[in-house]
Structure 1
């Protein structure tokens, strides 16, 4: 009951439903594919909940394990806390029964992360995805990060998934810190977006006694991640080619490695285009091509230039997707 005592101040934020979900479910199985969903905006840059719901209806037809809401592709740094929670609440209302909702609750301070984690649980999150704080990255060593994530996990009424995304934060969660944090009963796993397969395999190896679950943070190395023991992926490209990523998961799990290799190779270039090369504006443009509502990003992110749009189309068309 250590967790219950720690989040006592947050108790008014938690609904009866979220409490029952947190206590009765036991250890969640994260295995599967998750799109970190985009946040659509109106012309006035307000959250467009109607378009969000229409996207969710399309996602519901794809065999995802669940959705990640308010991750990097949801432009969470540009949303207010109230908007972040309301988006999670809206997704929970539309999400089919049995699908997991993982909500991004990471903030720069431990205190703010604890508070937002409680609000995300109250809004219906089954688990929270907590990114490494990074503004003072020079001081975010293993000691500071272990302290941060331990405090959040002690207080969280739902399981915590660590999130390492060095391309955005300039900070990688140290392997030794991951291994120590894996022993916390309320820390379920890690979304690793760094792309270092050796590191990922070592994390799986060193945490197997804790039943720690590793998720690949990008479609570009999903097959390789499965090879070294990852259980699934949180992949930006799943917003566009969701069925294909679920097919890749199925091929890997059934040992059909030659078919998996051919499919993985065709996903590398479009994935790179909507992540490290062109980012969220490219992801939203590609979503439009595939029948989803992407639209504009919230300022200061800018739309693609014509040259970037042509490059994006080439990356998809030369691999047979357009």
Structure 2
């Protein structure tokens, strides 16, 4: 099995698009280089911020192939391969494995309610079908299904299920994951950008960060400063994203993030319709916050 160390700030990359909503591969390559040159520790393709929920199979293949080529081994590449059915999740996971991804991130099935036994069997079946490290992905507000700490503890016994990303926003849940898996060599990542430093302090290993699309250096510095023992500086970096995160109230967070990258001058396009609108007051608030943060030297 391919081994990639799960750690640091993993950028939940946006998927740049042209005006006709096709994938903009040139802009994607530009963003890959921007992220790596800014110090992120890994790249994560077509997760929630990458609009994986709205890309078809061929588009995912194009995105992953482009990112792996452009990354060229400089950092690990994660692929979000979770689908509603176990069968399709396995198909997507094998596609990512064949293309050369380093790690799979598998979101819980969505829409239909799944029991913890069903979720356990889903992940176990996928893990048996691919010889790759798997990160579980818990985001119940989007999927309607939550992985409990007890289920994650059981899943952590499966050799190639190596970690979990928690985007519940509930720090108690992160603590539950850490506690349930501490006897195994298992990595817990924050999917909430405001909790990364606290997750590290509690025994987590980093975060999968949407804000890294806007502030890659700032996000990477939270982890780097913490690992260097500079708590004060790490907390300054962690606190500095609060004003940007406050803008999420204006719309879908993915749309806020992608719009912000556009406002920074990068040709990444809009999110795919219908999830592509922000009110004028939201745009103005973003412009104000982006300028204030640029004046402070955030990047």
Question: Structure 1 pair 165/82, CA: closer, same or farther in 2 (3 Å)?
Answer: same
- Whole-Å separation in 1 of the counterparts to 2:158 and 2:68: 27
Indicate the RMSD between aligned Cα atoms, in angstroms.
1.9
CA contact (8 A) 2:36 2:75 kept: no
Ranges in structure 1 where 5+ consecutive residues have no aligned partner: 1-21
Question: In the alignment, does 2:68 pair up with 1:92?
Answer: yes
Counterpart of 1:15 in structure 2 is none
When normalised by structure 2's length, the TM-score is 0.93
1:214-229 equivalences in 2 (<5 Å): 214-229=188-203
Question: CA offset at residue 317 of structure 1?
Answer: 4.4
Question: In the alignment, does 2:228 pair up with 1:245?
Answer: no
- Whole-Å separation in 2 of the counterparts to 1:316 and 1:51: 21
- Whole-Å separation in 1 of the counterparts to 2:91 and 2:248: 32
Question: In the alignment, does 2:210 pair up with 1:232?
Answer: no
- Whole-Å separation in 1 of the counterparts to 2:194 and 2:110: 24
Question: CA offset at residue 216 of structure 1?
Answer: 0.9
Question: In the alignment, does 2:273 pair up with 1:264?
Answer: no
Give 2:33's match in structure 1, choosing from 54, 57, 61: 57
Question: CA offset at residue 233 of structure 1?
Answer: 0.8
When normalised by structure 1's length, the TM-score is 0.86
Question: CA offset at residue 30 of structure 1?
Answer: 0.6
Ranges in structure 2 where 5+ consecutive residues have no aligned partner: none
Question: CA offset at residue 300 of structure 1?
Answer: 1.4
Question: CA offset at residue 308 of structure 1?
Answer: 1.2
Question: CA offset at residue 275 of structure 1?
Answer: 8.3
Post-superposition Cα deviations, 1:28-57, rounded to whole Å, max 9, x if no partner, equal 311111111111111111111111112122
Question: CA offset at residue 313 of structure 1?
Answer: 2.9
| Higher deviation after alignment, 192-201 or 87-96 | 192-201
Counterpart of 1:37 in structure 2 is 13
CA contact (8 A) 2:152 2:180 kept: no
Question: In the alignment, does 2:51 pair up with 1:75?
Answer: yes
1:1-322 equivalences in 2 (<5 Å): 22=1, 25-26=2-3, 28-137=4-113, 140-274=114-248, 278-318=252-292, 320=296, 321=298
Question: Structure 1 pair 105/273, CA: closer, same or farther in 2 (3 Å)?
Answer: same
- Whole-Å separation in 2 of the counterparts to 1:125 and 1:166: 25
Question: Structure 1 pair 218/285, CA: closer, same or farther in 2 (3 Å)?
Answer: same
- Whole-Å separation in 2 of the counterparts to 1:314 and 1:198: 33
- Whole-Å separation in 2 of the counterparts to 1:167 and 1:303: 20
CA contact (8 A) 1:66 1:101 kept: yes
Question: CA offset at residue 136 of structure 1?
Answer: 0.5
More helix by share: 1
